[in-house]
Structure 1
């Protein structure tokens, strides 16, 4: 447990330093998963969206431009400062709120308070399997009945799986970034009690990173 906390804190500092050194490092255009999520959220009638691991906000701002009210969380205060500045510049500040939050802690939201949750590569950060299950339980708690959860993770078919520094629980650190690579049975386990709508394989970046995009719905 102490090792997990130490790794998590080291990752928080690493992300803080990375955002400070490379403001807006992912650019202004939304990720492909965020574009998919917007379509799914619109189709479900969602209005209020929670984004976990929003970083400097390219996806949160896109979702706001799509008409959603967005609560954006991240454990990097630096990233969220950049998000707020971009929201002001884009005239989207009224549709986006931010909160510094570590997903290893309970989500600071009321039960059944949001319509949809989006998380691009947040669940595959330096989190143990137990912490991931707890987090998905929290997502379920804050979603309204019929709510949609769209998340992406790097999986065990990724080129960096098994490379770099080994930590426990399928976590490997490469280039200073620790990643929990998902086997398919973990995706299935996290979908228990949900309606698993889709597990979509895709690639991103120059390596390329190999990911799954998961869409699952809370029963009404």
Structure 2
């Protein structure tokens, strides 16, 4: 078991690099249901630019681009982002998609109040400590314009894999090589402090199925 948060992060980075390399386009070409929902939320708010955190090989980033948004897609996997760029060219949306290799444990490479909307599907429930999650959400708040929306999804403590596999503390459990931080509801509420919490919707995804929440919160104007 990794001995520190940094070591766990590096092990997970290597695992994702290998996984994307061995299984190109592993999540398919269709957008996730949360991305379809988020696009409608962003459009209703008049957003034109979307920052996606943890974009992977890009099925959701590409969907946002197809819907007319200008997209900045970030991930800590260079392999995943290479697949995203290739797909953007093939789909004719390369002019609306920019990719940046970025680890969300670091500050976002963007100016204050510089983006309209932020999306993250299962990124916040990766191998991040509670402290790192709070820091990330603070960064999202910093880069969002007033009235901007943040839509994110997380696996929660009602998921079948919670407390299964190897425990790393702080509600982080590793199963099948993937470490997940399972969210209790009070963490969702704490992350929405000083935001407008618009909705917390439960849904399921995949064959297990994974049990998740889709959260939408907005920066007050």
TM bin (shorter chain): over 0.9
Displacement after TM superposition at 1:26 (Å): 0.2
Displacement after TM superposition at 1:5 (Å): 0.3
Provide the residue aligned with 2:74 in structure 1.
73
Provide the residue aligned with 1:179 in structure 2.
180
Displacement after TM superposition at 1:168 (Å): 1.0
Provide the residue aligned with 2:209 in structure 1.
208
Alignment deviations for residues 124-181 of structure 1 (CA, whole Å, 9 cap, x no partner): 0000000000000000000000000000000000000000000010000000000000
How do residues 155-170 of structure 1 correspond to structure 2 at under 5 angstroms?
155-170=156-171
SS in 1 for 2:150: strand
Displacement after TM superposition at 1:16 (Å): 0.2
Q: TM-score, length-normalised on structure 2? A: 0.99
C-alpha distance in structure 2 between counterparts of 1:141 and 1:94, whole Å: 26
Q: TM-score, length-normalised on structure 1? A: 0.99
Q: Does 1:99 align with 2:93?
A: no
Q: Does 1:123 align with 2:121?
A: no
Provide the residue aligned with 1:111 in structure 2.
112
SS in 2 for 1:193: coil
Q: CA RMSD in A?
A: 0.9
Alignment deviations for residues 62-110 of structure 1 (CA, whole Å, 9 cap, x no partner): 0000000000000000000000000000010000000000000000001
Aligned residues: 220
SS in 2 for 1:167: strand
Gap regions ≥5 residues in structure 2: none
Provide the residue aligned with 1:132 in structure 2.
133
Displacement after TM superposition at 1:2 (Å): 6.4
C-alpha distance in structure 2 between counterparts of 1:197 and 1:23, whole Å: 35
C-alpha distance in structure 1 between counterparts of 2:3 and 2:171, whole Å: 17
Alignment deviations for residues 15-49 of structure 1 (CA, whole Å, 9 cap, x no partner): 00000000000000000000000000000000010
Provide the residue aligned with 1:199 in structure 2.
200
Gap regions ≥5 residues in structure 1: none
C-alpha distance in structure 1 between counterparts of 2:49 and 2:139, whole Å: 16
Provide the residue aligned with 2:23 in structure 1.
22
Q: Does 1:56 align with 2:57?
A: yes
C-alpha distance in structure 2 between counterparts of 1:66 and 1:21, whole Å: 29
C-alpha distance in structure 2 between counterparts of 1:15 and 1:2, whole Å: 19
Following TM superposition, the consecutive aligned residue runs of length 4 or more in structure 1 with deviations greater than 3 angstroms are none
